[in-house]
Structure 1
Amino acid sequence: MNQQVNSVFQTIDGEQFGVYETAVEAIAASAAAQVEFQNEFGTEARNRIIAAIRQVILDSAGPLGEMAVEESGLGRVAHKIAKNQLSATATPGTESLLTQAISSDDGLTIEERAPFGLIGAVTPVTNEIPTIVSNVISMLAGGNAVVFNVHPSAKMTSAVAIDRINRAIIASGGPADLVTMIKDPTLDTLQEIVQAPEVRLLVGTGGPGLVKALLSSGKKAIGAGAGNPPVVVDGSADVALAGASIVAGASFDNNLLCIGEKEVFVVEPQAEALIDAMMQSGAYLLNTEQVEQVTNLVLTADDNEEMAIACSFGMDREYHLRKEWVGQDAKKILGAIGVEVDTPVDLLIFDAQVNNPFVQLEQMMPVLPIVRCQGFAQAVDFAVDAEHGNRHSACIYSNNVNNVTYFAKRIGTTVFTQNGPTLVGLGYGGAGTTSFTIAGPTGEGITTARDFTRVRRFAIAQGGNRII
């Protein structure tokens, strides 16, 4: 642990704003802060507070990125920092809240967005700080407060981020405790949040088990589920572009993001050229023996072994991920099977059959299977099956508008990109806004402040000048 990160971790023993020992304390503090926030802070004040939050996260992006890797053991520091910066700069605020006025001879109706109140939110270990930041900006923009049950494996880093966010809010004139968390989060503290009458909306970013639990709570819930994003490369694709972009996307943060490319379906005439382009962009091609070694290393069929549960809905699988290999570097995986290389390696690739476990499993590590297909129609069929109905993300490399349109309709995902990594769908290297809560299961899609508000209708009958 470097000196800077160690010094930040040591502050956890001191006072941390917004970090509470119990769920009851955190809920009560945020509920009280929300009432003050809603009643006394208008759009201009919220914008000022959000600007302060953006700046403190940008100022802290480096240390928080280092802390996240140090604490969780997952991902790559440079990419953690990039995600922190992206969430701080590209998450939309109050501009997402539009008021609609409907006027006629019968009167005037105004529909505006009103806060839910206190929101209970759950965050993943894979995108710990970006999820907190994008949630906080969107939720506060809507006039809410939020209490987090963060992932236990990222609780120390999350506590530092929430402390800094609270200090920024207070320094910009806002109330303390608009953002809180439980210091030692558990399933029990999550249930306390879910059941608390003060909590009016639940937001969960994670697998189907979490989403199902929130949806069965009886409260309004927004669920951001898993993905197994496929990539299709057709005969019209620029394979040099495709190769470089797929490596960049699938290796980003060691493929921890649910939006990241997980498997490739390429039409046969393009396969060799695509693989060559990927190797020139930092991918290492595994041979048959090495594929078997990597499979035995990072996957397990033993249900009694500690594993990372696959996320896709309704899937009973023979293989599961070995937890200790999730989010690890490609060269570390190679080293574990006795392969040492002098050049940088960002991603491991290999020729695979469509039923290979890496194709069907959301692997969350820099190991990417490539399936050769006999035509575009087969590639689309394989991709739709591998996506497992998550409706999360997908990507195509094609210059044929008919093919792009056909695949987009068939796959039906929340995020769909053409000729670029799926990350551009989050505004990273592309147009658009950012959120790390991509609510496919409940239909909100890329969430903004609008999704964390409810509609309030104010109607003035007969122009307000007639009494009945």
Structure 2
Amino acid sequence: MKYNIEYYLKNSEIASKEFATFTQKQVDLIVEAVAKIGIEYSEEFAKLAVEETGMGKWEDKVEKNLLSTQYIYEDIKNLKTVGVISNNKESQIMEIAHPLGPILAIIPVTNPTSTLMFKILIALKTRNPIIISLPFRAKKVCSYVAKKLLEVAIETGAPKNVIQWVSTPNREMTRLMMRDNRLALILATGGKSLVTAAYSSGTPALGVGPGNVPVLIDSSFDIKFAVEQIIRSKTFDNGTICASEQAIIIEKKKTKELLKALEDANAYLLKEQEIPRLEEVVYDKKRENMSGEIVGKSANYIANLANINVPENTSLLVAKQTKIGKEYPLSSEILAPVIALYEVADFSEALKIAMKINQHGGKGHTATIFSNDESKIREYSICMDASRIIVNSPSSQGAVGGLCNNLSPSLTLGCGSGGRTSTTDNISARHLLNIQRIAKPKIKKKSFDFKNLFLKSEKVQAVI
């Protein structure tokens, strides 16, 4: 079957040439107008996303939509992205910002409207036209959002095809587009196979690896407070953020206190005989991945699916575990209000368990710790192969930045080499620029005596 990728790429090329001529003032007016419309419609977009996908909570998706518009706008509004962006007279280096060119953005079904608006805003800020590959299960709401944002962008002076989207999502078409050399960059947030395809396409890509986030609660920390933050994060939008906690690690002497705090927060501790039934419904052993049927669903929905009777107000399903690996499904990433619980003898054993969880499907992403001991926080951080260590705060809200800390707000979280991605940063507009550097001589001379620029070691003298 032939797919019409030519239409989208040709339109993007035309838009790219026009957009490259825009001034900073023109760009900033467009970005401000688009951000405002995203903020204005944040509730409507959230409700439509839940209605179409059946995932998450609309109230929490409103917060995600505001993060991707209001917080992102505040973060990038004063960023220089056109022409000379710095001129350091001391180093004699001037930096000039250029757009990359057409960008292909892959959108996940778990966070469709927020990720869509985030990627559109940072692309517009950097004068890059964007082509959007929509998730099949959220194609209606994403098409609606993209259309709204495009209309206001054009009204504010943006090129006609600065935002495009494939209204009928098709994976093969997306893969063909990825490999086209007219594409400048792929912003890949989505399923593992698509992210892998993006990195192997031959086109530069910025993507996200999977998360399997351990949360270590140090015995000296306030257990009740830690549990409140974990519940806040893990139940947020029914656990659809990949930086949400997947396993609690606690010293045995604090288990009783932890379980009481979990009970007070309406979490349900599974009985030993209930755990296999939960594993059956949350994990697809053939695919060696979480089951798509439970992603973003409530604790009650999942418990009913597993034929487990829980109170109606149950917030979180907690399962005690002792082992980690493919044979133990609950030690893996589950994007739903389900969490593993590991009891350990001391901090040293806690570190070992956290490292194993981190290595089991979460390398490069995020790890969390609750502790007041700086030496333990540092030791934990050094041991983890994680791009961000979230301290004494909810992991989901902490990792995306801007809410609980000063990380750059983002809906695309780099996972570095550990997660097989190209950066550990929270992706933002800064990553969508080609920076040209004009380097002037350190000393004003017509010619250089290169021999005198080097130390006079015997080895150097021999080379000279």
TM-score by length of 2: 0.86
SS of the residue corresponding to residue 56 of structure 2 reads coil
Give the conservation status (yes or no) of the 8 Å contact 2:109–2:190. Answer: no
Shift in alpha-carbon separation, 1:263–1:437, aligned structure 2, 3 A: same
Give the conservation status (yes or no) of the 8 Å contact 2:331–2:340. Answer: no
Structure 1 residue ranges without an equivalent (≥5): 1-20, 304-308, 310-316
Partner AA of 1:100 in structure 2 = S
Partner AA of 2:299 in structure 1 = A
SS of the residue corresponding to residue 156 of structure 1 reads helix
Residue in structure 2 matched with residue 344 of structure 1 by the alignment: 313
Partner AA of 1:361 in structure 2 = S
Partner AA of 2:227 in structure 1 = G
Shift in alpha-carbon separation, 1:261–1:405, aligned structure 2, 3 A: same
Give the Å deviation of 1:342.
5.3
Shift in alpha-carbon separation, 1:322–1:108, aligned structure 2, 3 A: closer
Give the Å deviation of 1:137.
1.4
**Are 2:246 and 1:242 aligned?**
no
Residue in structure 1 matched with residue 290 of structure 2 by the alignment: 321
Residue in structure 2 matched with residue 231 of structure 1 by the alignment: 215
Give the Å deviation of 1:339.
4.8
In structure 1, which of residues 347, 361, 381 is the aligned counterpart of residue 332 of structure 2?
361
Give the Å deviation of 1:343.
4.7
Give the conservation status (yes or no) of the 8 Å contact 1:242–1:274. Answer: no
Greater displacement, 189-198 / 405-414 = 189-198
Partner AA of 2:203 in structure 1 = K
CA deviation string 1:58-97 (max 9, x = no partner): 1111121111112222111111121111111111325344
Residue in structure 1 matched with residue 87 of structure 2 by the alignment: 101
Residue in structure 1 matched with residue 14 of structure 2 by the alignment: 32
Percent identity over the alignment?
A: 23
CA deviation string 1:272-316 (max 9, x = no partner): 211211221231222222223222233343x2xxxxx5xxxxxxx
Give the conservation status (yes or no) of the 8 Å contact 1:358–1:368. Answer: no
Greater displacement, 366-375 / 213-222 = 213-222
Instruction: Choose 1 or 2 for highest CA Rg.
Output: 2
**Are 2:382 and 1:409 aligned?**
yes
Residues of 2 paired with 1:132 and 1:267: CA distance? 41
Residues of 2 paired with 1:339 and 1:216: CA distance? 43
In structure 2, which of residues 253, 259, 266 is the aligned counterpart of residue 275 of structure 1?
259
Residue in structure 1 matched with residue 437 of structure 2 by the alignment: 457
Residues of 2 paired with 1:464 and 1:147: CA distance? 47
CA deviation string 1:15-38 (max 9, x = no partner): xxxxxx943222222221222111
Aligned ranges for residues 376-395 of structure 1 at < 5 Å?
A: 376-388=347-359, 390-395=363-368
Residue in structure 2 matched with residue 186 of structure 1 by the alignment: 170
SS of the residue corresponding to residue 437 of structure 1 reads coil
SS of the residue corresponding to residue 96 of structure 2 reads strand
Divergent runs of 4+, >6 A:
461-467
Residues of 2 paired with 1:390 and 1:53: CA distance? 35
Aligned ranges for residues 53-452 of structure 1 at < 5 Å?
A: 53-91=34-72, 92-97=75-80, 99-103=85-89, 108-301=92-285, 303=286, 309=287, 317=288, 320-339=289-308, 343-355=312-324, 357-388=328-359, 390-422=363-395, 423-427=397-401, 429-432=403-406, 433-440=408-415, 441-452=421-432
Residues of 1 paired with 2:351 and 2:336: CA distance? 24
SS of the residue corresponding to residue 41 of structure 2 reads helix
Residues of 2 paired with 1:227 and 1:96: CA distance? 30
Shift in alpha-carbon separation, 1:228–1:188, aligned structure 2, 3 A: same
Shift in alpha-carbon separation, 1:208–1:332, aligned structure 2, 3 A: closer
Residues of 1 paired with 2:59 and 2:162: CA distance? 30
C-alpha RMSD over aligned residues: 2.4
SS of the residue corresponding to residue 127 of structure 2 reads coil
Give the conservation status (yes or no) of the 8 Å contact 1:206–1:226. Answer: no
Alignment size in residue pairs: 429
Residues of 2 paired with 1:68 and 1:201: CA distance? 27
Give the Å deviation of 1:362.
0.9
Residue in structure 2 matched with residue 23 of structure 1 by the alignment: 5
Give the Å deviation of 1:341.
5.1
CA deviation string 1:157-213 (max 9, x = no partner): 110110011011012222222111111121222123213332111221134433332
Give the conservation status (yes or no) of the 8 Å contact 2:322–2:342. Answer: yes
Give the Å deviation of 1:434.
1.4
Greater displacement, 56-65 / 208-217 = 208-217
Residues of 2 paired with 1:336 and 1:234: CA distance? 34
SS of the residue corresponding to residue 95 of structure 2 reads strand
Give the conservation status (yes or no) of the 8 Å contact 1:129–1:158. Answer: yes
Shift in alpha-carbon separation, 1:37–1:398, aligned structure 2, 3 A: same
Structure 2 residue ranges without an equivalent (≥5): 416-420, 448-464
Residues of 2 paired with 1:95 and 1:410: CA distance? 36
Shift in alpha-carbon separation, 1:403–1:151, aligned structure 2, 3 A: same
Give the conservation status (yes or no) of the 8 Å contact 1:97–1:449. Answer: no
SS of the residue corresponding to residue 197 of structure 2 reads helix
